[in-house]
Every structure is written in structure tokens, then in C-alpha cells.
Amino acid sequence: MALEIILLFNCQRPGNAGYVVNLWKRYANEKNEHKVLISSDTYNPTPTLLYVGEKVKEITDDKNINATIIP
């Protein structure tokens, strides 16, 4: 009997908060197959703050414009 682990998304709009994610373990062979629900969870992403700072333009002597991040 072969073992295959699959991840099924039960949702209408993936990527939005509130959809259910089910993780199934599926057993299959030539004659039959069955699957067992391992876990179920509701997707609610937590916003992640990557950087907070101020963007300032600098003009150098050779007239190139550089962007500098000031924390």
C-alpha cells in the first residue's frame, strides 16, 4: 500500500483570511484508497512589519541620485 500525503485547501478565495486548510494522509493501492484527516486549521495571516524608516534623496557631485534609508 502506497502512502501519499496531500494538502487540500477548502476555500473559495485562497489567500484571504478565514479559509480552512485540511491536511490529509492518503493511502492508495490498485484496488482501493482511503484518506485520514491529520489536521484542520483556519488561515488567519498575521501582518508582518518588515521595515519602518524614512526615505531621503541625496544628490551627489556627479548628479547621480541615490536613495538612502534612515532608520
Domain range for residue 30? 1-45
Q: Give the model confidence (pLDDT) of 11-61 as tens digits.
A: 445 556 667 777 777 777 777 778 888 888 777 766 666 656 665 555 555
Q: Is 14 part of a structural domain of the chain? A: yes
Q: Is 18 part of a structural domain of the chain? A: yes
DSSP 11-69: -SSTTSTTEEEEEEEEEE-SS-EEEEEEEEEEE-PPP------EEEEEE-TTS-EEEEE
Q: Give the model confidence (pLDDT) of 1-12 as tens digits.
A: 455 555 554 444
* Residues contacting 61, CB < 8 A, separation 6+: none
Total domain count for the chain?
1
Q: Is 51 part of a structural domain of the chain? A: no
Per the structure block, which three cell numbers stand in for 40? 484542520
What gap in Å lies between CA 47 and CA 51, rounded to an integer?
Answer: 12
Decide: pTM greater than 0.95. Answer: no
Q: Is 58 part of a structural domain of the chain? A: no
